[in-house]
Amino acid sequence: MANMLAKPDKPQRATWGNARFIRFLEFTDSAVYAMVGASFLIAAIASLCYGIAKFAYSLWIISSGSVTSLFADPSVGKLSAATALITLVSDLLLTLIIMEVMGTIVHYLRTRATTLKPFLFIGIISATRGVLAVGARLSVINFQTLTAQQFLDSMIELGVNAGVIIALGLSLRLIGRFLDDERSADIESRGAEAQPGFDSSAKV
């Protein structure tokens, strides 16, 4: 009888050891997420500075030419300035993509839960960058030398990116409210658990 009563001690020790190991894994998980988030922050700052510096350098190259060569053919100056501006917007969108990924990491560290919405935003922003890339390429190309196949490829690329934007926008519209309701319910449950005297085993 005494041996039967002593047997449950081993599972208790095993459970205590598992709990320590789980806490170690949670700490390591948070530390790795924090380091990745810091790396994304550095990458976002570097991307922003690079985009602004490249835009400023492009404007300096355009303005460094003689007044005659810059404005004798106005289309050349406009195309160069437009390309520099489109490239700047594309670089800024890349920075936003990095920040959205970092936002998912911050959200996970706060709530210990992941959400789908930031990835939908990332897909929309990436497709927008694709549209801008095609626009920048077409703005500097000589349409007299543009072949029918090149024009068709550009239109297909624009159509695919536009379709992705529409599809992800509709998905975001359809499931966005569900994700918000789920997050609100999770916050309410966490707040109820934090209240004194809350019994998680109680059933309504």
The helix (run of H) or strand (run of E) holding residue 106 is helix 74-111
**What is residue 173's predicted lDDT score, i.e. its pLDDT?**
84
pLDDT tens-digit map of 7-66: 554 545 557 668 888 888 888 988 999 999 999 999 999 999 999 999 998 888 878 764
Q: For 12, what's the count of Cα atoms within 13 Å in the CB-facing half-sphere? A: 5
- How many angstroms separate the CA atoms of 30 and 27, rounded? 5
pLDDT, average across residues 132-154: 79
Distance, CA of 117 to CA of 178 (rounded, Å): 11
Give this prediction's pTM. Answer: 0.66
In a 13 Å sphere around the CA of 149, the CA atoms on its Cβ side amount to 0
* 125-155 exposure pattern, b = at least 16 Cβ within 10 A, e = fewer: bbbbbbbbbbbbeeeeeeeeeeeeeeeeebe
The answer to whether residue 185 scores a pLDDT higher than 80 is no
pLDDT at 187: 56
Q: Taking Cα atoms as reference points, which of 65, 59, 179, 74 lies closest to residue 119? A: 179
User: CA–CA distance from 115 to each of 105, 176, 179 (Å)?
Assistant: 10, 10, 8
Supply the mean pLDDT for the chain: 76
